[in-house]
Chains A and B, each alone.
Chain A
Amino acid sequence: MAGTKTNSRVRVVWTGIRAVLVLTVVCGIVYPLVVTGLAQGIFHDKANGSIVKVDGKNVASSLVGQYWGTAKTVKQNGEEVTVVTPNPKWFQPRPSTSNYDPAASGASNLALSNPELTKTVEQRKADVAKFNGVSESAVPADAVTASGSSLDPQISPAYAKLQIDRVARVNHLSATAVAKLVDAHVQGRTLGILGDPRVNVLELNLALATMS
């Protein structure tokens, strides 16, 4: 009896190993390949990252934010950091902890009680107000906070509207025409209740580019 018991205990180890291998084939090879095949067949563009082309060239994914300015590497306290100077010609996205680098998605993780974050927020508020020639009290929250992914492709309608005068002036367009453009690009809540209203910065800037 003791012998068969030992045998069955050794056998269960083999069963465990075989089960891992068998289920790996089912869930780790067959399943993702079937889904990939179906997705590529039915939703080809979306499955490949919703890439937007202009004149045949890939310019962005409509889902992933970018910076709209010039990046320069400068030395700050002995460390090399990238600083992006926003280009006033374009609508600007939210602040990003990674300067919209897709290899460094993630958040600041700073606590709201952290004085460093309060300082950053106040600095951003002053910068945004100055850049757009508005008062600090007019600057909305999303313009001075970094998103969770640091790749947020959208801004609030309030932040888009705040930028209208500056964008119109620099591009020699009428403010009413740019305001119309912004209105046309406001996406409401899905089904009227899901999420928040927002404006896709890339789509807005692409439309702006065809206008000017």
Chain B
Amino acid sequence: MSPVLAAVLQALFLIALLGVCYVPFGTYMANVYTSRKHLKVEKGLYRLMGVDPDAEQRWPAYLRGVLVFSAASVLFLYLIQRIQSHLPLDRLALGTDGSTGHNLVNVDPQQSFNTAASFVSNTNWQSYSGETTMSHVTQMTGLAVQNFVSAAVGMAVAIALVRGFARYRSGGELGNFWVDLVRGTLRILLPVAVVGALILVAGGVTQSLSMPETVTGLGGEVQHLFTGPIASQEVIKELGTNGGGFFNANSAHPFENPNPFTNIFEIFLILIIPFSLTRTFGKMVGSVKQGYALLGAMGGVWLLFVVLMHVTEFLHPGAAAQAAGAAMEGKESRFGIGGSSLFAVSTTMTSTGAVDSFHSSFTGFGGGIALFDMMLGEVTPGGVGSGLYGMLIIAVITVFIAGLMVGRTPEYLGKKLGSREITMAALYILVTPTVALLFTSISMAMPTARASMANPGMAHGFTEVLYAFTSGANNNGSAFAGLNANTDWYNTAIGIAMLMGRFLPMVFVLALAGSLTEQKPIPASKGTLRTNTPMFAMLAASVVILVCGLTYFPALALGPLAEGFSS
């Protein structure tokens, strides 16, 4: 079979897998967030946390919950890294020279802040190498915990916005943040994680708490093989669209992603919640067709870029790839061009940022696609939760634009979109590009920041910096890893960009949800734009690309486009 045909069938296999799970999983999630019953273990947790699970919150209280929980998380994660040498299991990591049995040192303050901001904001940008920097305790009780709860926070905010559309409360109540947080973690993420981790171990991903194994090869090399509790972290890294690898090589490392099946399974884990949440949304607003329209917009854009990525990577323009005969630099032989292209598009379109191949060595256009994917604002299908609320904002903008064309007051799902609602949506759209482009221009003006670029020629070097801040502000976390980002400037600036890119949009989302839920639904009339049609899906998809294109085109022209056309 030709590699191209196999790659096409592989993509169809993934789509079929997602299709089978979409309805049952999406419906299940809707039940989780609408059920009135608390599990026994949940009641126990609420008591320990000091929470009344039946108290409803208005949007400011819901937002306070999100912010306080996240601030406490940043602090806790910062502290663990700063004291990890005094905690158990610190001898299990590798020394920077590859030797074993070392006392691991504490992580320095800037890098600790960067990493804490990174994992709490669901970004998982990494300016460190996991195997030589973080102890098992930091990985398990710090980083992996945030992989769970930052995803659960994203889902909670998305569900709060869905409730804004789905229900009418004159007092503006949106639900209870603590309940949504605990349920998302306990009923959705944990069960899938336990099963998924075992599937990964069956494929060869390690899961142990012992010293690195020393082997002496027949060929003469002595290796200290660093294992660790990797499967339990790998599964939630993908499922929660986090992306922070145990190893520097991330999902390209054979212990994180040992074969073509685990590769497809990890891509499946990345996509399953963001896509299925459209079903959850449809169930909760009482019309699954509304969910299909959003799914159509998300899936259509995803598929378009999957095709484009495969085309450019198989054609392999670029001098070095032409000399080699294929764009295999930075790619693993077990995944090939197809498995790497599929992973690259899925990880950059979901704010995951895990990589099974290195985007910096993709073709000029391929790297540009990965960058453009993130610039689309992480809504196709986007991160866990953040993808759905981002897409709902796009839907609001779409209805508004359509309303302008026909001269009617825009409404969506029976709620009027007045100036307050549109203001919130517009602020949401503006905040991420502003953060990304502002920090990029400041860096380009700083000689020390420019010195971190790895590749010669302004085009590729500029792309490295633009990619870093786009990745941070959009909470993606993937890197054009050529950039040396472990400097005081990048650690601090990207840390701030990640926090702003995560929590400012949440403020606008929750404020929007609050004003929506106070509105009595109005019945649809003849003049109401129908939002459950393929037409609407296409409109929404064009708005995604239009908004992004207008915002980022000048920056793209300076970087990847300049490089792509000159090669």
Binding site for B on A (CB under 8 A): 9, 11-24, 26-29, 31-32, 34-36, 38-40, 42-43, 46-51, 54, 57-61, 63-71, 87, 90, 94, 100-115, 117-118, 120-122, 125, 139-142, 144-156, 189-196, 198, 202, 205-206, 209
Report the separation of the CA atoms of residues A125 and B68 in the bound assembly, to the nearest whole angstrom.
Answer: 57
**Is B396's CB within 8 Å of the partner chain A?**
no
CB-CB under 8 A for A194 and B260, given A49-B227, A110-B360, A148-B249: yes
* In-complex Cβ contact of A111 among B1, B61, B361 (8 A): B361
Chain A residues with CB below 8 A from B333, complex form:
94, 142, 147, 152, 154-156, 196, 198
Main secondary structure of the interface of A (DSSP, over half): mixed
Asked if A48 meets B213 with Cβ closer than 8 Å, knowing A23-B185, A122-B323, A146-B330, the reply is: yes
Bound Cα distance A64, B259 (Å): 12
Q: Which B314-357 residues have a C-beta within 8 angstroms of A?
A: 316-321, 323-340, 355-357
Q: Is A109's CB under 8 angstroms from B481's CB? A: yes
Supply 16 further A-B pairs (C-beta < 8 A) apart from A46-B202, A68-B219.
Answer: A16-B69, A18-B49, A42-B201, A67-B220, A69-B219, A103-B94, A105-B248, A107-B361, A111-B455, A121-B320, A145-B326, A145-B329, A148-B340, A154-B333, A195-B338, A202-B217
User: B232 contacts A35, CB within 8 Å?
Assistant: yes
Once bound together, how far apart are the Cα atoms of A51 and B358, in whole Å?
Answer: 27
Query: Chain B nearest CB: distance from A54 CB in Å?
Result: 7
Inter-chain contact A32/B229, CB cutoff 8 Å: yes
A118-B5 Cα distance, complex, nearest whole Å: 29
CB closest chain-A residue, reference B357: A148
Establish whether residues B328 and A142, one from each chain, have CB atoms under 8 Å apart when the complex forms. yes
Q: Can you list 15 pairs linking A and B with CB atoms under 8 Å apart? A: A16-B68, A23-B182, A39-B198, A47-B206, A59-B217, A64-B225, A71-B220, A105-B249, A107-B357, A110-B329, A114-B460, A117-B361, A154-B334, A194-B264, A202-B217
With the chains together, A125 CA to B194 CA distance in Å? 45
* A19-B49, A39-B201 known; A66-B231 Cβ under 8 A: no
- CB nearest neighbor in A for B359: A109
CB distance from A93 to the nearest CB of B (A): 9
Residue of A nearest to B480 (CB): A109
| Docked CA distance A87–B219 (Å) | 8
CB distance from A173 to the nearest CB of B (A): 17
B219 near A205 with CB under 8 A, answer yes
Bound Cα distance from A64 to B334, whole angstroms: 12
Give A19 to B209 CA distance when docked, in angstroms. Answer: 27
Given the complex of chains A and B, what is the CA–CA distance between A156 and B324 in angstroms? 14
A117 and chain B: residue at smallest CB distance:
B320
Which B residues, 540 to 567, have Cβ-Cβ distances below 8 Å to chain A? 563, 566-567
CB nearest to A46 among chain B residues: B204
Interface status of B214 (Cβ within 8 A of chain A): yes
Q: Is B534 an interface residue (CB 8 A)?
A: no
B249 touches A111 (CB 8 A): no
Task: Provide the bound-state CA to CA distance between A69 and B566, in Å.
Answer: 40
Q: Is the CB of A59 within 8 A of B218?
A: yes
Residues of A within 8 A of B94 (CB): 102-103
Q: Which among A22, A36, A112, A150 is the interface contact of B49 at CB below 8 angstroms?
A: A22
A108 to B49, CA, bound (A): 47
Residues on B with C-beta less than 8 A from A101 are: 98, 223
Closest residue of chain A to B69, judged by CB?
A: A16
Closest to A189 in B: B6
Given A35-B207, A46-B202, A108-B329, answer yes or no on A68-B229 (Cβ-Cβ < 8 Å).
no
Q: Which residues of B contact A65 (CB under 8 A)?
A: 254
Q: Is the CB of B318 within 8 A of A36?
A: no
**A145 engages B178 (CB within 8 Å):** no
A148 in contact with B331 given A35-B198, A109-B361, A192-B1 (CB within 8 Å): yes
B337 to chain A, nearest CB (A): 8
Complex alpha-carbon distance, A99 and B364, angstroms: 27
Choose one: A16, A112, A194; the contact of B71 (CB below 8 Å). A16
A192 to B250, CA, bound (A): 26
A106-B202 in contact (CB<8A): no
Specify which chain B residues have a CB less than 8 angstroms from the CB of A24 in the assembled complex.
Answer: 76, 141, 145
- Rounded to whole Å, the gap between the CB of B340 and the closest CB of chain A is 8
Rounded to whole Å, the gap between the CB of A13 and the closest CB of chain B is: 6
Known: A31-B193, A40-B207. A19 touches B223 (CB 8 A): no
The answer on a CB contact under 8 Å between B215 and A60 is yes
Residue from B98, B264, B566 within 8 A of A113 (CB atoms): B566
State which of B198, B208, B361 has its C-beta within 8 Å of the C-beta of A112.
B361
Q: Output the nearest chain A residue to B263 by Cβ-Cβ distance.
A: A195
B327 in complex: contacting residue of A13, A61, A112, CB < 8 Å: A112
Report the bound CA distance from A206 to B218 in whole Å. Answer: 8
Given contacts A63-B254, A107-B361, A141-B328, whether A47 and B201 have CB atoms under 8 Å apart is: yes
- Complexed CA–CA distance, A142 and B202 (Å): 27
Check B456 for interface membership: any CB of A closer than 8 A: yes
Residues of the A chain whose Cβ atoms lie less than 8 Å from the Cβ of B50: 11, 14-15, 18
A100 to B220 Cα, complex, angstroms: 12
A112 pairs with B319, CB closer than 8 A: yes
Indicate if B500 sits at the interface (CB-CB under 8 A).
no
B186 at the binding interface (Cβ < 8 Å): yes
Cα-based distance from A71 to B219 in the complex (angstroms): 10
Query: Within the assembled complex, what's the spacing in Å between the Cα atoms of A141 and B314?
Result: 12
Asked if B305 is an interface residue, CB under 8 A from chain A, the answer is no
- The answer to whether the Cβ of B438 comes within 8 Å of any Cβ in the partner chain is no
Q: With A142-B333, A148-B355 given, is the CB distance from A16 to B482 under 8 Å?
A: no
Query: Is there contact, CB below 8 Å, between B455 and A195?
Result: no
Task: Assess whether B215 is in contact with A148, with CB atoms less than 8 Å apart.
Answer: no
A47 touches B334 (CB 8 A): no
- Does B181 have its Cβ within 8 Å of any Cβ on chain A? yes
Knowing A112-B363, A191-B13 touch, does A148 contact B455 (C-beta < 8 A)?
no
From residue 217 to 261 of chain B, which have CB atoms closer than 8 A to chain A? 217-221, 223-227, 229, 231-233, 247-249, 252-255, 258-261
CB < 8 Å: which of B219, B249, B324, B327 contacts A150?
B249
Bound CA span A19–B149, Å? 10
B201 touches A107 (CB 8 A): no
Please give, as numbers and ranges, the residues of chain B lying within 8 Å of A100 by CB-CB distance: 221, 223
Contact with A along B528-545 (1 / 0, CB 8 A): 000000000000000000
Q: Are B226 and A103 in contact (CB under 8 A)?
A: yes
Q: Quick one: closest A residue to B149, CB to CB? A: A23
Q: Which of B115-141 contact A (CB under 8 A)?
A: 129, 131-132, 140-141
Is B13 a contact of A193 with CB atoms below 8 Å? yes
Determine the distance from Cα of A50 to Cα of B225 in the docked complex, in whole angstroms: 11
Chain B residues positioned under 8 Å from A194 (CB to CB): 10, 13, 260-261, 263-264, 339
Q: Which residues of A contact B215 (CB under 8 A)?
A: 51, 58-61
